[in-house]
Amino acid sequence: MTAFHGIRPGSVLAAAAITLLASGTGQAADWRGWNIHPPGYPNTIALEQFAKDVTDKTQGRVKPTVYNNGVLGSQPDAIEQTRNGALDFANFNMGPMGPIVPATNVLSLPFIFSGEAQMHKVMDGPIGQRFSDAMAKEGLVALSWYDSGSRSLYNTKRPVTEPKDVNGMKVRVMNNDLYVDMIAALGGNATPMAFGEVYQSLKTGVIDGAENNYPSFESTNHYEVARFYSVTNHLIIPECVCIAKASWDKLTAGDQEIVRKAAVDSAVVQRKHWAERSMASLEKVKAAGVQVNEVKDISAFQAAMKPVYAKFIKANPDLESLITDIQATK
Ligand code: GTR
């Protein structure tokens, strides 16, 4: 007990020691958080608010630090690290979550949502809770959902206006076999690859294209190399604020409530910044000379996805009701 030597009852230090002991762990928790995006990106702004809020409201019992730009590893690695408690929190796109939590693959089915508003309605309600429950079984406590807009195809070759334009194209996708099927259904060849490798791969011709929302297309400078962005809106994938279950379980009920509220509040901030950044990014890439084209007959792309759905449902019959429940949400 040398650490307490000389502390008088009632002193500031004694009070601090009592507060720490009351936290259940006996010491402040320095949380490390994974973020793939750069400073100033909507998700980064929101995660930083989350970290500050948690630090302030727990009076330093929990002190989250956000590590930006994916410096703590690729998304699939970071999901593993959060599951085993090596990382304490993260903002994950639900795409690479599928290989770990199969139910979340439903969110990666092309055109599963009719729009971003419907996606939020689904995720903020009881269906979203079903995804959180499935993730909790794998060591991830999902507390709120961020916006990630709609993902569209972009490439270095030509505008895509119909599925046959994708024929023979090498397209980078996130780590999930569903996306390999999705690109194959359009006649292209998909290459799963870490986000951080895409710019160089586009530049050197290792791939011809990729797919993402406007803010990521812009923030990564992919638009400098891939000059054709075709508005297919084929994926609307939410993102979570996730806490490692190992870190969550160490918190008192009171601190869990503080962390939960901070995550929900950060999602409100993220969605507001997201809407603004999406428009700003579109303007920026257009001003930089990127050819952005609408796709007139999106139903041709949707029809091409029928075999992807059929294969998925055959392999996952238990998830069919989740698909129909999402589609029935208006
Ligand atoms: C972004 C998303 C990232 C990451 C990236 C990618 O839109 O916010 O989490 O998933 O796409 O394509 O890898």
Domain ranges of the chain: 26-147+237-279, 150-236+285-318
Mutate to test the pocket of ligand 1, among 34, 79, 93, 277 (most ligand atoms within 8 A of CB): 93
Task: Say how many Å lie between the first and final Cα of the chain, rounded.
Answer: 61
Residue 249: Cβ within 10 Å count: 12
166-171: which pairs have CB atoms within 8 A and are 24 or more residues apart? Answer: 169/208, 169/209, 170/206, 170/207, 170/208, 170/209, 171/207, 171/208, 171/209, 171/210, 171/211
More confident of the two residues 308 and 22: 308
3-state SS assignment for residue 181: helix
Integer Cα distance of 19 and 212 in angstroms: 46
Digit-coded pLDDT (tens) for 19-50: 444 444 557 899 999 999 999 999 999 999 99
Digit-coded pLDDT (tens) for 134-166: 999 999 999 999 999 999 999 999 999 999 999
Measured from the CB, is residue 216 less than 6 Å from ligand 1? yes
Matching residue, tokens 């290792």: 206
Integer Cα distance of 272 and 281 in angstroms: 14
pLDDT at 12 over 50: no
Identify the CATH number of the domain defined by range 26-147+237-279: 3.40.190.170
Question: Do the domains 26-147+237-279 and 150-236+285-318 sit in the same CATH topology, yes or no?
Answer: yes
With a CB cutoff of 8 Å and minimum separation 6, the contacts of 184 are 190
Hey, whose CA ends up nearest to atom 1 of ligand 1? Answer: 216
Measured from the CB, is residue 74 less than 6 Å from ligand 1? no
Identify the CATH number of the domain defined by range 150-236+285-318: 3.40.190.170
Atom of ligand 1 nearest to the CA of 43: 8
DSSP state of 26: S
Percent of the chain residues past pLDDT 90, beyond the cut: 91
Q: What confidence score (pLDDT) does residue 261 get? A: 98
CA distances from 118 to 87, 147, 205 (A): 31, 12, 37
Integer Cα distance of 147 and 153 in angstroms: 18
Under the banding of pLDDT at 50, 70 and 90, the label for residue 309 is very high
Atom of ligand 1 nearest to the CA of 213: 7
pLDDT at 16 over 70: no
Digit-coded pLDDT (tens) for 55-77: 999 999 999 999 999 999 999 99
Give the strand order in the sheet containing 209-212: 189-192, 170-173, 209-212, 151-155, 228-235, 291-294
pTM for the structure as a whole: 0.92
- Could you tell me the distance, in angstroms and rounded to a whole number, from the CA of residue 37 to the centre of ligand 1? 8
